[in-house]
Amino acid sequence: MLPSYDYGDQVRLTRNVRNDGTYPGMAVGNLLIKRGSIGFVMNVGTFLQDQIIYTVNFLEQGRIVGCREEELIGADETWVESRFETREKVRARLALSLRGEVVVPPGTEGEVFKVLRDLPDGVQYHIHFPGGHVLQVREAVLDPIEPGLAEEV
Protein backbone atom coordinates (compact mmCIF):
# COMPACT_ATOMS: atom_id res chain seq x y z
CA MET A 1 0.00 0.00 0.00
CA LEU A 2 1.85 3.04 -1.30
CA PRO A 3 0.52 6.60 -1.05
CA SER A 4 -0.37 8.46 -4.24
CA TYR A 5 0.60 11.84 -2.76
CA ASP A 6 3.60 13.06 -0.80
CA TYR A 7 4.41 15.88 1.58
CA GLY A 8 3.82 19.26 -0.04
CA ASP A 9 1.72 17.92 -2.94
CA GLN A 10 -1.21 20.09 -3.93
CA VAL A 11 -4.50 18.11 -3.91
CA ARG A 12 -8.19 18.74 -4.60
CA LEU A 13 -11.02 17.39 -2.46
CA THR A 14 -13.61 15.42 -4.48
CA ARG A 15 -16.37 15.32 -1.86
CA ASN A 16 -17.54 17.53 0.97
CA VAL A 17 -15.96 16.82 4.35
CA ARG A 18 -18.21 17.28 7.37
CA ASN A 19 -17.29 17.13 11.03
CA ASP A 20 -17.59 13.56 12.29
CA GLY A 21 -16.99 14.74 15.84
CA THR A 22 -13.20 14.77 15.60
CA TYR A 23 -12.86 18.44 14.59
CA PRO A 24 -12.89 20.63 17.72
CA GLY A 25 -15.10 23.68 18.11
CA MET A 26 -17.71 22.74 15.51
CA ALA A 27 -20.91 20.73 15.72
CA VAL A 28 -21.07 17.22 14.27
CA GLY A 29 -22.29 17.37 10.67
CA ASN A 30 -21.05 20.92 9.98
CA LEU A 31 -19.35 21.40 6.62
CA LEU A 32 -15.58 21.66 7.12
CA ILE A 33 -14.29 21.76 3.54
CA LYS A 34 -16.30 22.00 0.31
CA ARG A 35 -15.59 19.62 -2.57
CA GLY A 36 -13.34 21.19 -5.18
CA SER A 37 -11.19 22.94 -2.55
CA ILE A 38 -7.43 22.78 -2.90
CA GLY A 39 -4.97 22.06 -0.09
CA PHE A 40 -1.45 20.83 0.59
CA VAL A 41 -0.47 17.43 2.00
CA MET A 42 1.19 17.86 5.40
CA ASN A 43 1.40 14.26 6.52
CA VAL A 44 0.65 10.72 5.33
CA GLY A 45 -0.55 7.97 7.66
CA THR A 46 -2.83 4.95 7.84
CA PHE A 47 -6.10 4.05 9.54
CA LEU A 48 -6.86 0.45 10.52
CA GLN A 49 -3.77 -0.56 8.52
CA ASP A 50 -5.72 -0.61 5.24
CA GLN A 51 -6.60 3.04 4.50
CA ILE A 52 -4.17 5.80 3.65
CA ILE A 53 -5.06 9.05 5.40
CA TYR A 54 -3.60 12.41 4.42
CA THR A 55 -3.41 15.42 6.70
CA VAL A 56 -4.28 18.24 4.31
CA ASN A 57 -3.94 21.96 5.02
CA PHE A 58 -6.66 23.95 3.25
CA LEU A 59 -5.09 27.40 3.47
CA GLU A 60 -8.05 29.42 2.13
CA GLN A 61 -10.39 27.89 4.71
CA GLY A 62 -7.81 27.95 7.50
CA ARG A 63 -8.44 24.28 8.33
CA ILE A 64 -6.32 21.16 8.57
CA VAL A 65 -8.36 18.03 7.88
CA GLY A 66 -7.74 14.30 7.52
CA CYS A 67 -8.75 12.95 4.10
CA ARG A 68 -8.94 9.44 2.71
CA GLU A 69 -7.05 8.80 -0.52
CA GLU A 70 -10.27 8.20 -2.50
CA GLU A 71 -11.44 11.70 -1.54
CA LEU A 72 -8.49 13.39 -3.27
CA ILE A 73 -7.16 14.02 -6.76
CA GLY A 74 -4.14 16.01 -7.87
CA ALA A 75 -4.85 19.74 -7.97
CA ASP A 76 -3.78 19.84 -11.63
CA GLU A 77 -6.17 17.04 -12.65
CA THR A 78 -9.36 17.93 -14.50
CA TRP A 79 -12.14 18.90 -12.10
CA VAL A 80 -15.78 18.96 -13.11
CA GLU A 81 -18.18 20.49 -10.59
CA SER A 82 -21.26 18.41 -9.76
CA ARG A 83 -24.56 19.37 -8.19
CA PHE A 84 -24.75 16.29 -5.94
CA GLU A 85 -22.24 13.97 -4.30
CA THR A 86 -21.99 10.39 -3.11
CA ARG A 87 -24.50 9.42 -0.39
CA GLU A 88 -26.64 12.49 -1.02
CA LYS A 89 -30.42 12.00 -1.17
CA VAL A 90 -32.10 13.07 -4.42
CA ARG A 91 -35.53 12.93 -6.05
CA ALA A 92 -36.32 11.90 -9.64
CA ARG A 93 -37.83 14.84 -11.50
CA LEU A 94 -39.17 12.57 -14.29
CA ALA A 95 -40.28 8.96 -14.66
CA LEU A 96 -37.32 6.66 -15.31
CA SER A 97 -37.69 3.46 -17.29
CA LEU A 98 -35.82 0.31 -18.22
CA ARG A 99 -36.64 -1.38 -21.53
CA GLY A 100 -39.82 0.69 -21.86
CA GLU A 101 -41.16 -0.05 -18.36
CA VAL A 102 -41.32 2.73 -15.75
CA VAL A 103 -39.34 1.52 -12.74
CA VAL A 104 -38.97 4.88 -10.97
CA PRO A 105 -42.04 7.15 -10.91
CA PRO A 106 -41.52 10.94 -10.75
CA GLY A 107 -40.84 12.14 -7.21
CA THR A 108 -39.21 8.90 -6.08
CA GLU A 109 -36.35 9.43 -3.66
CA GLY A 110 -32.99 7.76 -4.17
CA GLU A 111 -29.39 7.97 -3.01
CA VAL A 112 -26.32 8.88 -5.04
CA PHE A 113 -24.11 5.81 -5.23
CA LYS A 114 -21.44 7.23 -7.57
CA VAL A 115 -20.68 10.52 -9.35
CA LEU A 116 -19.56 10.21 -13.00
CA ARG A 117 -17.75 13.43 -13.90
CA ASP A 118 -15.81 12.34 -16.97
CA LEU A 119 -18.61 11.58 -19.44
CA PRO A 120 -18.84 13.50 -22.73
CA ASP A 121 -22.52 14.37 -22.11
CA GLY A 122 -21.81 15.95 -18.71
CA VAL A 123 -22.18 14.82 -15.13
CA GLN A 124 -24.27 11.71 -14.46
CA TYR A 125 -24.88 9.62 -11.37
CA HIS A 126 -25.46 6.04 -10.34
CA ILE A 127 -28.57 6.37 -8.17
CA HIS A 128 -29.93 3.65 -5.91
CA PHE A 129 -33.73 3.74 -5.95
CA PRO A 130 -36.20 1.61 -3.92
CA GLY A 131 -36.77 -1.85 -5.32
CA GLY A 132 -33.06 -2.46 -5.81
CA HIS A 133 -32.76 -0.37 -8.97
CA VAL A 134 -29.42 1.35 -9.57
CA LEU A 135 -29.77 3.60 -12.59
CA GLN A 136 -27.35 5.91 -14.38
CA VAL A 137 -29.13 9.27 -14.41
CA ARG A 138 -28.29 12.67 -15.90
CA GLU A 139 -27.93 15.55 -13.49
CA ALA A 140 -30.80 17.46 -15.13
CA VAL A 141 -33.44 14.91 -14.08
CA LEU A 142 -32.62 15.06 -10.37
CA ASP A 143 -33.71 17.44 -7.62
CA PRO A 144 -32.36 17.77 -4.08
CA ILE A 145 -34.56 16.30 -1.35
CA GLU A 146 -34.34 19.48 0.71
CA PRO A 147 -34.70 22.67 -1.35
CA GLY A 148 -31.49 24.68 -1.40
CA LEU A 149 -29.36 21.83 -0.02
CA ALA A 150 -27.46 21.08 -3.24
CA GLU A 151 -26.92 24.76 -3.93
CA GLU A 152 -25.22 25.44 -0.55
CA VAL A 153 -22.40 22.98 -1.12
Q: Which amino acid is at 146?
A: E
Domain boundary among 50, 74, 98: 74
Q: What CATH number is attached to the domain comprising 106?
A: 2.30.30
Q: Distance between CA atoms of 56 and 43, rounded to whole angstroms?
A: 7
Quote the domain boundaries for residue 21: 10-74
- Which pLDDT value is given to residue 122? 86
Answer yes or no: do 34 and 69 share one domain: yes
Q: Which of 54-58, 100-104, 114-118 has the lowest mean pLDDT?
A: 114-118
Q: Average pLDDT over the chain, rounded to whole?
A: 88
- Per-residue pLDDT reduced to its tens digit, 39-90: 999 999 888 878 899 999 999 999 999 998 888 999 998 888 888 887 889 9
* Helix/strand/coil for 111: strand
Answer yes or no: do 58 and 98 share one domain: no
Asked if pLDDT for residue 1 goes beyond 80, the answer is no
Q: Residue 38, Cβ neighbours under 10 Å: how many?
A: 16
Domain boundary among 26, 44, 74: 74
Is 3 inside a domain boundary?
no
- Which pLDDT value is given to residue 23? 87
Is 84 inside a domain boundary?
no
Answer yes or no: do 15 and 63 share one domain: yes
Is 4 inside a domain boundary?
no
Is 152 inside a domain boundary?
no
- Which pLDDT value is given to residue 85? 82
With pLDDT > 90 as the criterion, what percentage of the chain qualifies?
Answer: 52
Q: Which amino acid is at 145?
A: I
Neighbour order of strands in the sheet with 109-116: 133-138, 124-129, 109-116, 89-92, 142-144
Answer yes or no: do 70 and 103 share one domain: no
Asked if pLDDT for residue 153 goes beyond 60, the answer is no
Answer yes or no: do 16 and 42 share one domain: yes
Is 25 inside a domain boundary?
yes
Q: Residue 77, class by beta-carbon neighbours within 10 Å (0-12 exposed, 13-18 middle, 19+ buried)? A: exposed
Answer yes or no: do 97 and 68 share one domain: no
* pLDDT interval class at 151 (50, 70, 90): very low
Asked if pLDDT for residue 147 goes beyond 60, the answer is no
Please name every residue paired with 119 in a beta bridge, in sequence order, or none if there are none.
none
In total, how many domains does the chain have? 2
Is 137 inside a domain boundary?
yes
Q: Distance between CA atoms of 1 and 98, rounded to whole angstroms?
A: 40
Answer yes or no: do 70 and 93 share one domain: no
